[in-house]
C-alpha cells in the first residue's frame, strides 16, 4: 500500500513537471526577446558612446569644457537616451558607461550626464516594451 502511494506521488510530480516545463520554456523565451525598437535604440546609444570615446581621445586644452567633438557627442547621447524606450536601470547603466568614457576629458559634460540620471525613478521601475 505504501509502495503504491509513493508511486502515485512520483507519477503526479512527474506529470506536473512535464506540463510546467513547456510553460517555463515559453516564459524564458519571451523574457529574453528584446523589442525591435529597443534593440535599435540600444545600438544607437552604443554608437553614441563610441563617438564620445573617440572624441575624448583627442587632446583638449580645456578640461572644464572639453572640445567641440566631445560636446556634440555628449549632446547627441543625452538627447537619444532621454527619449529611449528603455527602463530606468538600463538608462542609468548606459549613462555610467558614457561617464566612464569622459573621465577627465570634459568636466561640464560629466556633470551634464550626472544630472540626467533617473535616480528618483529607479526605485519605482517601469517597463516600456
Average pLDDT on 65-88 reads 89
Average predicted confidence (pLDDT) for the chain: 78
Q: What grid cell was written down for 87?
A: 527602463
**pLDDT above 70 as % of the chain:** 67
Of how many residues is the chain composed?
129
Task: Give Cβ neighbours of residue 80 (< 8 Å, ≥ 6 apart).
Answer: 41, 44, 45, 48
Average pLDDT on 61-84 reads 87
In whole angstroms, give the CA distance from residue 107 to residue 110.
Answer: 5
Higher pLDDT, 119 or 79: 79
Amino acid at each position: 500500500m505504501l509502495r503504491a502511494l509513493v508511486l502515485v506521488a512520483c507519477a503526479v510530480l512527474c506529470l506536473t513537471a512535464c506540463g510546467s516545463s513547456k510553460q517555463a520554456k515559453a516564459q524564458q523565451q519571451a523574457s529574453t526577446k528584446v523589442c525591435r525598437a529597443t534593440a535599435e535604440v540600444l545600438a544607437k546609444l552604443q554608437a553614441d558612446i563610441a563617438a564620445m570615446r573617440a572624441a575624448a581621445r583627442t587632446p583638449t586644452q580645456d578640461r572644464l569644457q572639453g572640445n567641440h567633438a566631445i560636446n556634440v557627442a555628449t549632446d547627441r547621447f543625452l538627447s537619444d537616451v532621454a527619449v529611449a524606450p528603455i527602463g530606468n536601470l538600463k538608462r542609468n547603466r548606459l549613462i555610467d558607461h558614457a561617464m566612464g568614457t569622459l573621465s577627465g576629458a570634459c568636466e561640464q559634460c560629466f556633470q551634464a550626464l550626472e544630472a540626467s540620471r533617473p535616480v528618483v525613478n529607479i526605485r519605482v521601475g517601469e517597463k516600456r516594451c
